[in-house]
Structure 1
């Protein structure tokens, strides 16, 4: 049975009862509009914990674009049905008033250079909003482990910083990106693509995999990056916002392969009105 909990008090009572029985808690925070990627996170939690809690909350604090917040899909009934089918023990669906009783949060986070690049550069305030809501949820759920998709690579790194800095004592588990059969990274935003755009969207991952192939065959970082930029420039449909090759640990751009033990290629591009992100490990 999957419990639907709508208030922080209900959630805390549920958690207290399970912890009193010595049960471990796994947590999957989401903004709803669930897809197989989210369910993969829930299944990972089910395998590794006695109890799995998922949250569904479209967090206004992490949107710097009012239209993006307004258009974000909300599918509560479908979300709870999907989570029930994979055996999620509880779904926490709070109201904005529950999470932000003062309406506008006064708490603030600065994650340093890790948030000044890529997503942070183009979405000012985004990671402050992520930090606020995740810290609130971590305090309410007190999980042993929390699960996040590697598709949001920078977000995962930021949350690891958050958990370490605030001494939450929570294991942050990154789960590999789940993709459609044509390579497109699963995302709640994909449902906003037109049929024609949906046929074009996998080109993002195709370009990334070609970059990985070039890197493995010995191309310089400069050549790999220039090749990617040329391919996006040739696309009439994809409007590149950024492409960076970064140190996978610090998230800072690198100029040569020897600058980092792990190099990650990260991209954001608009396809019509829909902003898509993806990433791939190059080294």
Structure 2
């Protein structure tokens, strides 16, 4: 069942989205060579507590996970791309760091992810990140009333394929609103003109993610962290959007500032 949101409800989700965006911007500034992932985790915990928000991840226990998730952000490094458990790891020069955050404020959720490079960037890693970002933009542009869900998936796929990257379909985007995961599922591969018709009031998290040379994944022994099966680098970009009668709103759009880029030195 898909719950269409009113303009007032979308505005409340936007409040949450801007908080998520602000934290991801802060983490982009904090992540540096020599910084421990647990330092980033505790920064997010403090910010959530100060705001009176609620983590969507704490105690999250889906069928694929190993026990309840006991962190407030997913931090995935290099060949890890999804659901990375923050742990005692110190970021090194050239590390690729994906940060994925979902919180609720006053009962309304927003979800967003970004990938950055710590220290000295490798061109192939920048290219991979750029592909996910461009795929996300393409998906957002296709998310219009009257279009089909397949149009969004096909737009994402076209960008990834144009870059020559394989596409995994086991994990993708999703609806959200009162909870983190609602219908529909939004694959990162699809056929234009097929699938559910998009309507004003739908709120979706679009999240293209890619590994450089494989579409296969493996799980860490922790039961959560998902890595590329061949150890190749990964990247992930995600925004929460709302479809309205005349536009598509990006509810988690980050406000640009001098340090907001894929490269962190």
TM range (shorter): 0.3 to 0.5
- Structure ranking higher on relative contact order (CA contacts 8 Å, 6+ apart): 2
Higher helix share: 1
**Structure 2 length normalisation: TM-score?**
0.40
**Structure 1 length normalisation: TM-score?**
0.38
Higher strand share: 2
Larger CA Rg, structure 1 vs 2: 1
